[in-house]
Structures are given as C-alpha cells and as structure tokens.
Amino acid sequence: MALISQRISSMPPSETLAMTQIANELAEAGKDVIKLSIGEPDFNTPEVVKEAAKTAIDENWTHYPPVPGYPELKKAICAKFKRDNNLDYTPDQIIVSTGAKQSIYQVVMALVDPGDEVVIPAPYWVSYKAVVQLAEGKSVYIQTTIENDFKVTPDQLRAALTPKTKMMIFSSPSNPTGMLYSREELKALAEVLRDYPNVIVLADEIYEHINFEGKHESMAQFDWMKERTVTVNGVAKGFAMTGWRIGFIGAPVAIAKACNKLQGQVTSATCSIAQRATIKAMQMDPAISDDIINMRNIFLKRRDLVYDLLCQIPGFKVRLPKGAFYFFPDISELYGKQVPADSVFAKTYNKTTIENSTDFCMYILYDANVALVMGAAFGDDRCVRLSYATSEEKLREAMRRIREAVVKMK
C-alpha cells in the first residue's frame, strides 16, 4: 500500500508556488533572482487595517470565532457587495474563509460529485483544475485565444455545456491573462446559461479592484443568475493582504450552509485577528480610498512600462491586459530555437532546443535569473505568465535580462 493517497499523488502541485520556491532556492544560493512568478502585491497592508489588527489583539479577540465569520465582518461584506457591486446578500449568505483559495475549494467540494463536469475557460488559474480533480469531477476546458483577448464566446460556452455540467469557474479580471469581461460579454454568457438552470457559476472576483477600464462587472448582477452564482472575493490582491489569508463568498443560502459545514470540519474558522482587521478593509470605499486608488495607479504605470518593453522582445506576442497584474504573452514563435550550449539550462536539462513553455521558463530562470510561470500550468502551453507586482526598477531589469536571453536564441 502506497504511503501517500492516490488522491494527493495524482494532484498537480501549485505551479505558481513551485516556481516561486525554485526562485527562492536560487536566491538563497546567492543568485540575484527577480521573481515575477507569484501574484503578490509588493505594497504594505494599509495602516488603518494594521491598526485594527493591533487593537483586536489588545481587546482579546483571541478565541474561536464563529465558523462562517464574525457577524460584524459578514455585515461589512454585505455592505461592500451592495456598495461596489450592487449585489444584495444577507449575512447568512456569506462565509469567510482562509483565503479565496479555500473559498473555491469549499464551493467545489460542496457541489461537485464524482463524474460531474465543470466547465473552465482556459487559460485558467492553476488551482481550479486541481480542486475539481480532488472532488473527482471532470474539468471541461474551453480553449480561448490571444486574438480573442482570451475570452470565451457564447457559442464556445454552449458547445461545452452538457446535461452533466454542474459548474462553470472563471475569473474576471483574469488570472493569468489580465483580461476583463464587459457587462455585455457577461450578459451574453448568462443568456446561454439561462437554458441550463442547474449549472452553478463560481465567479472569482479577487482582482476586482485592479481594473484599468472602470467598473467591475459581476455575473450575479443578472437576476436569473443571482440564485445560482457564487461570488468569490477576498482582500489579498486589492488590499495588499496576501498573508492575512482572508477570502469570502456570497452564495445562495443552501450553498453557504454546505460550505459552513465543511469549514467546521476543516479549519473551524478563520484567524480572529485577520477577520477583525478585514472589517476595516471592507469599509474602505474603492471609489475614494487613497490606498486602493494609489495601488491601482502604480499598477497601471507598471503595466504600461512592461507592455512597451515586452513588445520589444523578438518572438513575444503581447496583448495589453485590462486588469489584475499579469501579462500572458504568446511566445510559441520561439519554440524550436536553440539556446547556447554553454547555458545553465542546456547543461542542467541536457538539451538545447526550447520546445515548450516549461523549457522557456527554465531557460529564463537559470540563465536570466527571472522567474516566470509556464503557460502550461494555466492550460496554454503557447504562453508564459509574468506578474508585474514589483518595482519599476526590477521590472526594467527583468525585461532587459529576458530580452538578452531571447536574443541569444538561434
């Protein structure tokens, strides 16, 4: 009998975290590595949120919180949904979890039975497929293209739906592509779903506040979708609170109850101090909060800088992202080219031809010391993902190094 269960041995590791781990190891070995692998804002958590956490400790908010989250926090989340998204949720529809990742895990576990189909537009965020696999569901991918801004069309969605479809999972703003669905585009998808009333949509809106086009659009805004959409959000990206591990859902009551039951068996609840601090974050109105607006403006400046520099790299096909903090260039034109025989990549892997996104990322990591993530991890082996949530200086240097390494390919 194997030591590790079949369930875990067959599950892919999180490639975003794996690439960051390799980059960290190289850095520990003394290499000057620029990490564009993990999607993590380089800003500090807003002062008002940190103060709330300190007060929470002094006020002894140190006991088990209620499983779904403190009532004050759930009320603040409902107010946020109303203020920012015009969505009416009641506190019994909110479950606060240890990061949006846990929220997604719980929703999938609560809804997907073995053999159920889950439609996932590709490119997708790495953990969707792993979680569906854990639930023994079947992921059905819809391949999108860079020419279509990596967005799924109504016809593509219709073709992917079957009587076995239980759920659809997508993110907008998208990780990894940075693209956004407009209201009209979302509505067109929702119109298709009208004919499939049993399909639940899991809308991952964690990048809501990093949107360079204007208003964020939620799937749950359409009245026929509200009762079958789970809206996932959290504080990691928009509030620079990755380490606090707070995510939440707004969901139909039956789904919220099921997630609550699961959470009660898994974590009991989420960290009391982080929850108290998140009340303050939820009270920050993104329309007027200097913290949120400044972060977005800085991301926008970096996006424009990286776009200019990426467009100058031969073989890179680049689309201008509209949100989140990622680029997802198509680099497949470089496949089949040779890297120098004396490169670290060539020596480590005993090959000189770049054949796919993993080869390219490893070449760039070992020889240019820039960490990217292979598009294969997100369901598109033609591309690579890079996060621009780091300083302009590091971004300029990273782009210079990547260009230099690419120019050496023959």
**Residue numbers at the binding site for ligand GLU (CB under 6 A):** 14, 16-17, 38-39, 101, 125-127, 175
User: Using CB atoms within 10 A of its CB, is residue 378 exposed (0-12), middle (13-18) or buried (19+)?
Assistant: buried
Nearer to ligand GLU, 203 or 339 (CB): 203
Q: How far apart are CA 186 and CA 193, in angstroms?
A: 11
- Closer CB to ligand GLU, 175 or 263, in the complex: 175
Total Cβ atoms within 10 A of residue 20: 21
DSSP conformation class of 339: P
Of residues 14 and 156, the one with the C-beta less far from ligand GLU = 14
Q: Which is nearer to ligand GLU, 70 or 150 (CB)?
A: 150
Q: Which is closer to ligand GLU, CB of 117 or CB of 208?
A: 208
- Going by C-beta distance under 8 Å and a sequence separation of 6 or more, which residues neighbour residue 29? none
Of 173, 179, 150, residue with least CA distance to 383: 150
The residue type found at 26 is: L
Decide: residue 8, CB within 10 A, 0-12 exposed, 13-18 middle, 19+ buried: exposed
Report, in Å, the least distance between residue 330 CB and ligand GLU: 19
Smallest gap, in angstroms, from Cβ of residue 127 to ligand GLU? 6
End-to-end CA distance of the chain: 49
CB of 129 to ligand GLU, least distance (A): 12
Give the list of residues 6+ apart from residue 165 with CB closer than 8 angstroms, or none: 116, 117, 118, 119, 140, 196, 198, 199
Q: Of the two residues 70 and 128, which places its CB atom closer to ligand GLU in the complex?
A: 128
CB of 124 to ligand GLU, least distance (A): 11
Closest distance to ligand GLU from the beta carbon of 16 (Å): 4
Nearest distance from C-beta of residue 54 to ligand GLU, angstroms: 26
Residue closest to ligand GLU (Cβ): 39
